[in-house]
């Protein structure tokens, strides 16, 4: 029969082994290059520090292991990566020259929490939000690793003259193979490789694409996570984005972001006839749940 002392020793030994392998695995991860696909993993380890809750000190307070959440992965070289908790900005860190970033946020309680992250490249262009609902356990550091943002994307025209060219640029991880996808009346895919500083630029010939409405996005080769979608049309003349009011569906105040102001405008026109074009995100003449879904896709907060 195993005594209580033996049970405690066995539990302590198993805990020590677990911590050892977690530390060893994190060391290996830090030494590997950026992953070729978006695979996020989550783990928890016993807090590495202690905090004293109210009533502590020499008067018999309770000492608990540190409670925290940690996020790590790759954005773009020298990008600013921001962490939001329940929609509120908590902290921003700068990625290194390879695009790697790591954020640790101390927590003090159990809760179901929605954390969101976005990255902003050195030109000021934002990625889409990545959302991670998590359960924070007191006394543990919950780690979410392997995060990877899709590349940022900017185009120079909202309308392209038939037979003309479209310029696409943005930032990604250095020297990665990518695909630019055009979808619409006809589909087309272009391939390219980012430069050593993560920037990319490509001029796309649209000579064989007919008039009509299109969307464009970019992704790493063999990766399912894609950038934001940008709409453009092929028509009679070139309209550069400096001449257009907005490139984002639902951005009625043309501030190049989708937030509660845009949501309020959309909610006002819900189910009403003759909505403004900027509110009717899919152009079907009515504001319904489809428009809310499109607005949510472009949400920046």
The full set of domain ranges for the chain reads: 33-148, 154-297
Distance CA 171, CA 126 (A): 10
The CATH homologous superfamily for domain 154-297 is Macroglobulin (MG2) domain (2.60.40.1930)
Distance CA 118, CA 301 (A): 10
Which pLDDT score, from 0 to 100, does residue 254 have? 61
Please name the residue that has the structure tokens 């969307």. Answer: 215
Contact between 194 and 227 (Cβ < 8 Å): no
Contact between 146 and 39 (Cβ < 8 Å): yes
Which pLDDT score, from 0 to 100, does residue 273 have? 82
Identify each DSSP E strand in the chain by its residue range.
41-46, 50-52, 63-65, 67-74, 80-85, 88-94, 100-107, 111-120, 130-136, 140-148, 154-155, 157-161, 165-171, 177-184, 188-193, 199-205, 212-220, 230-235, 239-240
Question: Which candidate, 257, 276, 273, places its Cα nearest to that of 265?
Answer: 276
Distance CA 290, CA 284 (A): 10
Distance CA 94, CA 99 (A): 9
Distance CA 134, CA 144 (A): 10
Distance CA 157, CA 203 (A): 12
Please name the residue that has the structure tokens 């009346």. Answer: 185
Which pLDDT score, from 0 to 100, does residue 279 have? 79
Contact between 140 and 50 (Cβ < 8 Å): no
The segments of the chain whose pLDDT lies below 70 read: 1-65, 109-111, 242-247, 253-255, 301
Buried b (16+ CB within 10 A) or exposed e, 5-14: eeeeeeeeee
Which pLDDT score, from 0 to 100, does residue 109 have? 67
pLDDT, mean over the chain = 78
The pTM is what?
0.65
Q: Which CATH class is domain 33-148?
A: mainly beta
Indicate the angle between helix axes 260-268 and 289-297, nearest 10 degrees: 170
Which pLDDT score, from 0 to 100, does residue 301 have? 65
Q: Are 33-148 and 154-297 the same fold in CATH?
A: yes
How many other CB atoms sit within 10 Å of the CB of residue 234? 23
Question: Phi and psi dihedrals of 221, rounded to 5?
Answer: -60, 135
Which pLDDT score, from 0 to 100, does residue 28 have? 35
Distance CA 118, CA 130 (A): 6
- What the block records as the tokens of 252 is 């009625």
Which pLDDT score, from 0 to 100, does residue 99 have? 97
Contact between 204 and 195 (Cβ < 8 Å): no
CA–CA distances in Å: residue 195 to residues 128, 159, 181, 231: 22, 28, 19, 26
């Amino acid at each position: 029969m195993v005594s209580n002392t033996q049970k405690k020793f066995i539990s302590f030994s198993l805990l020590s082994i677990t911590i050892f392998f977690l530390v060893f695995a994190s060391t290996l991860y830090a030494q590997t290059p950026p992953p070729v696909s978006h695979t996020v993993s989550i783990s928890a380890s016993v807090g590495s520090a202690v905090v004293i809750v109210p009533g502590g000190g020499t008067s018999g307070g309770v000492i608990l292991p540190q409670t925290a959440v940690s996020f790590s992965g790759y954005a773009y070289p020298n990008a600013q990566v921001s962490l939001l908790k329940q929609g509120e900005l908590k902290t921003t860190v700068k990625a290194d020259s390879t695009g790697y970033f790591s954020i640790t946020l101390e927590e003090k309680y159990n809760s179901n929490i929605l954390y969101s992250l976005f990255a902003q490249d050195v030109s000021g262009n934002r990625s889409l939000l990545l959302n991670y609902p998590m359960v924070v356990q007191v006394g543990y550091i919950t780690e979410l690793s392997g995060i990877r943002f899709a590349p940022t994307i900017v185009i120079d025209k909202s309308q392209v003259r038939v037979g003309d060219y479209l310029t696409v640029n943005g930032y990604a991880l250095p020297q990665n193979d990518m695909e630019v996808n055009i979808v619409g009346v006809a589909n087309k895919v272009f391939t390219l490789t980012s430069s050593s500083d993560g920037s990319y630029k490509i001029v796309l010939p649209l000579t064989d694409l007919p008039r009509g409405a299109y969307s464009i996005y970019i992704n790493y080769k063999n990766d399912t996570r894609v950038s934001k979608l940008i709409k453009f049309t092929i028509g009679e003349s070139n309209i550069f984005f400096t001449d257009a009011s907005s490139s984002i569906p639902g951005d009625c105040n043309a501030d190049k972001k989708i937030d509660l102001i845009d949501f309020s405008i959309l909610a006002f026109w819900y189910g009403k006839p003759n909505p403004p074009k900027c509110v009717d995100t899919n152009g079907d003449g009515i504001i319904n749940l489809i428009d809310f879904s499109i607005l949510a896709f472009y949400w920046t907060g």
